[in-house]
Homo-oligomer: A and B are copies of this chain.
Amino acid sequence: MTSVGADERLARAALTRVFEPGDERGGRWLRRFGAVALLELITSPGARRERLTGVTGERLGGYRIRAEAAVPERDLAAIAALGGRFVCPGDPEWPSQLDDLEAARPIGLWVRGRPDLRIWSLRSVAVVGARACTPYGAHMAATLGSGLAERGWVVTSGAAFGVDGAAHRGALSAGGATVAVLAGGADRAYPPGHAELIGRIAEQGLLVAELPPGGHPTRSRFVLRNRVIAALTRGTVVVEAEYRSGSLVTARCAQRLGRFTMGVPGPATSGLSAGVHELLRGEAVLVTDAAEVVELVGDIGELAPSRRGPVLARDLLDPASARVLEALPARGAAEGREVARSAGTTTDEALGRLYELHSLGFVERCGDGWQLTARPTPAGAVRRGGT
């Protein structure tokens, strides 16, 4: 598969140090000039820089100082040392749904974790909400997280205290897949109180950041991070949110992007449900459990199992995924651990691949285990012997 060139990747990595997440002016320049030329323009002196219009000299000076200070080789080495990578538009792992963000599309994403971000995101739902949630909110987030994981859906959230953390933990507790989109660098555990959880997500799921390693989360970065959560997923569920809270930003962004927006009701007397109720009085759909979420975000195949089936020819699977697929029994289900053993890999690796295979329609959850999808392989995906 094609991938972006080394120069382009290096320039984009540097630009993640120049522009704040979601800087639309930067996004438009990037589209107009390309990453390599844009970086050159920013650091070039005098007249050439004037092609970068619509911005004060002071601001342009700020961009220049940041660009000159950037050492993208070091950032790429840092993420690689953590077993991660810098995924750019044009890479096979780039989640193309982020293109819906247009000029606010991330320049690239710093990613940690084994699974493929693009494939996982195909079948993912965001579960977000208040940091200072009630025990009820934490319960609902955890129940949705585990329920979605049990149904083979990836749970995406922001790793914050409260609802976010409960949703991630719920997914992990069900042996499920979860993605944390961080407002700081992918090497930073923020909040520090969630260091262990974030570490587990790096092992079993995916950490995603717009900022390069070492980046600090700030108030505006938290808000802008939410657009990535909304754009990555098929829908956003809000579990407890006050009026004018960050979770509502995510939900409204999801709405603008044409994603499903859902809310979990709570007592009308609870200020922590007031924001959700406001959403539910608008376009958002009321949901009370994972089945209702999946009913909404699932494609026709989700409701009518007989129509489910691979969306990719089996031959096109990468070898590691193909090995995991081969490891599944022809009939009946197997647990992740058994599949890992047969495929000669770790349980975490096997689970990551199983979720990819689920997104692609090859396998499905069955209780605690996994099985091949019931439907006969479509014509375009006939097995041609071993892979």
Contact = CB atoms under 8 A, between A and B. Distances in A.
Interface in A266-287: 266-269, 273-274, 277, 280-281, 285-287
A268 B277 CA distance: 13
A210 to B, nearest CB: 33
A268 B267 contact: no
Which of A136, A265, A281, A289 has most B Cβ within 10 Å?
A265
In the assembly, how many copies of this chain are there?
A: 2
A85 to B, nearest CB: 39
B288 A268 contact: yes
A265 B281 contact: no
A313 to B, nearest CB: 38
A354 to B, nearest CB: 29
Contacts of A264: 268
Contacts of A136: 267, 269
Contacts of A277: 265, 286, 288
A288 B280 CA distance: 11
Contacts of A281: 285-287, 292
Contact of A265 (B273, B289, B292): B273
A140 B268 contact: yes
Given A139-B269, A266-B268, 11 more contacts: A136-B269, A140-B268, A265-B265, A265-B268, A265-B273, A265-B280, A266-B266, A267-B267, A268-B288, A277-B286, A281-B286
